[in-house]
Amino acid sequence: MAANGIAVSEYKSEEDPGQKDSQLTRLVPFLQFLAIGHRLGTVENFSAELQQLGVSTEVGGDNGEGFEKAVHARFAELRKEGKMPVLQRGGRATLGGAQGPTLWNRMGLGSRRE
């Protein structure tokens, strides 16, 4: 298991006639999450986020399927808690899933009313 990173197997185009590069495309949502979360200040430690997934970070064995499932499960948890970082139109980053009675609350700009 890669302790501080994600290990992918060597890409061989002759073995991927559809040029899907499945391992890389399965990593993209997690990498986007890290970038947006870092921008918001909610993701500070890359290694800690990998450990939160609880799955091997060597994605070559199953072509990244297990990693992808773990990422989707983690995203579901974060959405449920209102802590999923989201990049909005215009480049503004906010936490998705925020609740409240007004648009300002849902954008994460107002205090929550009960």
pLDDT of residue 15 exceeding 50: yes
pLDDT for res 5: 81
Q: Where are the alpha helices (DSSP H) in 1-114?
A: 22-40, 46-53, 65-81, 103-106
Query: Which pLDDT value is given to residue 13?
Result: 85
For the stretch 27-37, pLDDT in tens is 999 999 998 88
CA nearest to 53, candidates 74, 39, 78, 80: 74
Match 């091997």 to its residue by tokens: 56
pLDDT band at 1 (very low <50, low <70, confident <90, very high): very low
Q: How far is CA 4 from CA 1, 49, 66, 75, 81, in A?
A: 9, 10, 18, 20, 26
Please list, residue by residue across 30-45, b when 16 or more beta carbons sit within 10 angstroms of its beta carbon and e when fewer do: beebeebbbeeebbee
The first and second tokens of residue 99, run together, are 């609740």
